[in-house]
Chain A
Amino acid sequence: MSMPDKKGHYGIYGGKFAPETLMPALAELEAAYLAAKKDKEFTAELEFYNREFIGRPTPLYFARRLTDHLGGAKIYLKREDLCHTGAHKINNSLAQVLLAKRMGKTRVVAETGAGQHGVATATAAAMFGLDCEVYMGTDDVARQSLNVFRMKLLGTVVRPVDLGSKTLKDAINEAMRDWITNVANTHYVLGTVFGPHPFPMMVRDFQSVIGREAKKQIMKFEGKLPDAMIACVGGGSNAMGLFYEFLEEPSVKMYGVEAGGLGIERGKHAARFAGGSLGVLQGSKTFILQDEDGQIELTHSVSAGLDYAAVGPEHAFYHDSGRIEYTYAVDEEAMEAFDLLSRLEGIIPALESAHAVAYCLKLAPTLGKDKVVVVNLSGRGDKDVMQVAKIKGVEL
């Protein structure tokens, strides 16, 4: 694949809309990343930690009872929930922290929504001995308190952000402000395929291990490529990670599932492709949820990791080209999928991943039994248990 171009553009999307203070740092990061990618020592080290620390490869698991229940296509789950720290986020965090160390940085900052990227970055920083601060919206601090405490246990300073929508978007603003201020010794570990170039490219590359493994695994089990793949899309890193290896396999259909929240009404969802338009936010030109003046709109989703007003630029490109189809699941559908997967498969999914499962519940029954669907189970639901109990009115 030749994307992005040299300036970080994916067609009309992407780019480097960053303050001057960061422009040299972004160039330095790009150069360091491209050099590391070619360096056998770096790639060997990354492979080592992927295997020995994260626990890769993660299984591609045949979900027999879910398959029988739906009565259609065979469903496989890519078990990113079994990664150390409980989500795909660590594939990127660990690699970026390793890169930061190589660049001589002594401190990392990160934003987090669900807390999974924060925990993953805190974990990698602890393991490599770097200082770490994580910015998190106060709404997310409240609904993901378990992850806040995990980060603290890992020696990270958690900085609540009580601005704007008090969720992921505002955490990114604050993390960027921190980076602008401390760029000399600090690397910003952005957690998804978003932000100014080279982040969308670099995060995609670090996550693409998911799809490379899945391809080998499905060939082994089924002797053919899957007919369809499904992943949830917050910024879009677990989806790009799974899809990237298959983009040039035209027989493989791909579905990205956004957060429909309470329904596609202003301020009540985070489905950028359903209610968004072209704009520029936090370094990137892409689909964003904005009002008639270009102000960024509030978003809502039951899942903190999908509750975000913009989407990765490469997704916007594949949306337009038609290569990936985008749809959404509303809160209620995600909750149903959360329950169903827990009871049928003994796997409690993250609420983010439950959005992908929710679409699978619709798609699989429409496909024949000879068809194969791969769902990216991007994370496990331990972090969401308290919130789900609250929604169900259960006191713990």
Chain B
Amino acid sequence: MSRIKNTFNRLKKKNETALIPYIMAGDPDLATTKTLILEMEKAGCDIIEIGAPFSDPLADGPTIQKAAIRSLKNHTSIADVLGLVADVRTTSKIPLILMTYYNLIFHYGEERFVNDAASAGLDGVILPDLPPEEATVLIPLAKKAGLDTIFLLAPTSTEDRIKLVCRVSQGFVYYVSLTGVTGARAGAVQSSIEESLKKIKAATDKPVAVGFGISTPAQAAQIAHWGADGVIVGSALVKVIEEHVGTPELLVRAVEFARTLKQGVLAGHGN
């Protein structure tokens, strides 16, 4: 069974929602990313999404765009990120997922990528600009290598697309909580998420994790309360990193923020 599936099964038994933080590899450098992953795991994060920087991240808002620019100053590549995963994997027990754009994988070579990713100990991959229709080469290759290909649904997705994505997505289904790009949003999360979650869960037994725009422990609690199996927090965490780049506080602040987010999902679930 895949490490991702295992994690969701284990959490389900405990009636817990997964907290899935996203950070950009190499922001500001790979050594920091490594320490962050290991410390976030200790702080109770369940799965970690690692971004690989792309020059043209069209599904991302300003915060993650800037993180990519910081990382690209050191020319962080797919090979570097897989090296990081292999390094972290010697101690880390939790699922690690790569999130990036398709051109980097295509250019690396899809077959070479799934094989290298699997041997590095990567568990899944999320490519926001690769819909299932265009993933007919990657899906079977990834399956063979034991790498989960995670696809996304959005508020605009039609019934047909919900069926399609629920069928092909492996590990979990990623629900994009809002019509827009990544980026922290203040205030309450959209109430329509509850309805959408119900619809998706009716279409599949696979876990559903919700991301895009979720920024605070209270928002994370709300999403968990609505029955999500996972809550993904990206920009808000990347923002904490951005605010502390070059200071010794970066690590403590980022890990502390992740800890409060986990407390949020714990408080939300089952309330």
A in complex with B? yes
Q: Which residues of A contact B (CB under 8 A)?
A: 7, 15-25, 163-164, 169-170, 173, 176-177, 180-184, 278-283, 288, 290, 293-296
A19 touches B72 (CB 8 A): no
Give Cα A295 to B130, complex, Å: 17
Given the known A-B contacts A16-B134, A17-B134, A20-B165, are A293 and B154 also in contact in the complex, defined by CB atoms under 8 Å?
no
Given the known A-B contacts A279-B103, A293-B78, A295-B72, are A19 and B58 also in contact in the complex, defined by CB atoms under 8 Å?
yes
Residues of chain A within 8 A (CB-CB) of B156 are 20-25, 183
Give Cα A17 to B104, complex, Å: 13
Q: Which residues of B contact A (CB under 8 A)?
A: 54-59, 61, 65, 72, 75, 77-78, 102-104, 106-108, 128-131, 133-134, 151-158, 161, 165, 176, 179-181
Given the known A-B contacts A293-B104, A296-B56, are A21 and B134 also in contact in the complex, defined by CB atoms under 8 Å?
no
Given the known A-B contacts A19-B58, A180-B181, are A290 and B154 also in contact in the complex, defined by CB atoms under 8 Å?
no
A19 touches B134 (CB 8 A): no
Give Cα A18 to B176, complex, Å: 14
Residues of chain B within 8 A (CB-CB) of A21 are 154-156, 176, 179-180
Number of A-B residue pairs having CB atoms within 8 Å of each other in the complex: 107
A18 touches B129 (CB 8 A): yes
Residues of chain A within 8 A (CB-CB) of B61 are 177
Residues of chain B within 8 A (CB-CB) of A283 are 129
Residues of chain A within 8 A (CB-CB) of B179 are 21, 180-184
A180 touches B180 (CB 8 A): yes
A17 touches B72 (CB 8 A): no
Closest A-B pairs by Cβ, 10 of them? A294-B107, A21-B154, A181-B180, A293-B77, A295-B55, A20-B152, A296-B55, A294-B104, A20-B154, A280-B103
Interface hub of B56, B108, B158 (most chain A Cβ within 10 A):
B56
Given contacts A20-B131, A280-B102, 6 further A-B contacts (CB under 8 A): A15-B133, A15-B134, A24-B161, A294-B78, A295-B55, A295-B72
Q: What is the CB-to-nearest-CB distance from A7 to chain B, in angstroms, rounded to a whole number?
A: 6
Residues of chain B within 8 A (CB-CB) of A25 are 156
Name the residue of chain B whose CB is nearest to the CB of A9: B134
A173 touches B104 (CB 8 A): no
Q: Is the interface of A mostly helix, strand, loop or mixed?
A: mixed
Residues of chain A within 8 A (CB-CB) of B176 are 20-21
Residues of chain B within 8 A (CB-CB) of A294 are 54, 78, 103-104, 106-108
Q: Is the interface of B mostly helix, strand, loop or mixed?
A: loop
A290 touches B103 (CB 8 A): yes
A20 touches B181 (CB 8 A): no
Q: What is the CB-to-nearest-CB distance from B209 to chain A, in angstroms, rounded to a whole number?
A: 14
A280 touches B106 (CB 8 A): yes
Give Cα A18 to B133, complex, Å: 10
Name the residue of chain B whose CB is nearest to the CB of A181: B180
A173 touches B56 (CB 8 A): yes
Give Cα A280 to B161, complex, Å: 23
B103 touches A281 (CB 8 A): yes
B157 touches A20 (CB 8 A): yes
Name the residue of chain A whose CB is nearest to the CB of B59: A19
Give Cα A81 to B160, complex, Å: 45
Q: What is the CB-to-nearest-CB distance from A104 to chain B, in angstroms, rounded to a whole number?
A: 15
Residues of chain A within 8 A (CB-CB) of B65 are 163
Q: What is the CB-to-nearest-CB distance from B33 to chain A, in angstroms, rounded to a whole number?
A: 17
Q: What is the CB-to-nearest-CB distance from A332 to chain B, in angstroms, rounded to a whole number?
A: 29
Give Cα A233 to B103, complex, Å: 23
A-B contact pairs, 20 of them (CB 8 A): A16-B133, A17-B134, A18-B129, A20-B151, A20-B153, A20-B154, A20-B157, A23-B131, A23-B156, A164-B55, A173-B58, A176-B58, A177-B61, A180-B181, A184-B179, A278-B106, A280-B103, A290-B103, A293-B107, A295-B104
Residues of chain B within 8 A (CB-CB) of A180 are 58-59, 179-181
Residues of chain A within 8 A (CB-CB) of B181 are 177, 180-181
Give Cα A173 to B69, complex, Å: 15
Interface hub of B58, B65, B161, B180 (most chain A Cβ within 10 A):
B58
Q: What is the CB-to-nearest-CB distance from B180 to chain A, in angstroms, rounded to a whole number?
A: 4
Contact among B78, B128, B161 with A19 in the assembled complex (CB-CB below 8 Å): B128
Residues of chain B within 8 A (CB-CB) of A23 are 131, 156-157, 161
Give Cα A169 to B204, complex, Å: 38
Give Cα A47 to B66, complex, Å: 46
Residues of chain B within 8 A (CB-CB) of A288 are 103
Residues of chain B within 8 A (CB-CB) of A173 are 56-58
Residues of chain B within 8 A (CB-CB) of A293 are 75, 77-78, 104, 107
Given the known A-B contacts A279-B107, A293-B75, A293-B78, are A18 and B56 also in contact in the complex, defined by CB atoms under 8 Å?
no
Interface hub of B103, B108, B179 (most chain A Cβ within 10 A):
B103
Q: What is the CB-to-nearest-CB distance from A366 to chain B, in angstroms, rounded to a whole number?
A: 38
Give Cα A184 to B180, complex, Å: 11
Residues of chain B within 8 A (CB-CB) of A296 are 55-56, 103
Q: What is the CB-to-nearest-CB distance from A24 to chain B, in angstroms, rounded to a whole number?
A: 5
Residues of chain A within 8 A (CB-CB) of B161 are 20, 23-24
Residues of chain B within 8 A (CB-CB) of A18 are 129, 131
Q: What is the CB-to-nearest-CB distance from B255 to chain A, in angstroms, rounded to a whole number?
A: 29
Q: What is the CB-to-nearest-CB distance from B213 to chain A, in angstroms, rounded to a whole number?
A: 11
Q: What is the CB-to-nearest-CB distance from B185 to chain A, in angstroms, rounded to a whole number?
A: 11
Residues of chain A within 8 A (CB-CB) of B77 are 293
Name the residue of chain A whose CB is nearest to the CB of B180: A181
Q: What is the CB-to-nearest-CB distance from B196 to chain A, in angstroms, rounded to a whole number?
A: 13
Contact among B55, B130, B153 with A17 in the assembled complex (CB-CB below 8 Å): B130
Residues of chain A within 8 A (CB-CB) of B151 are 20
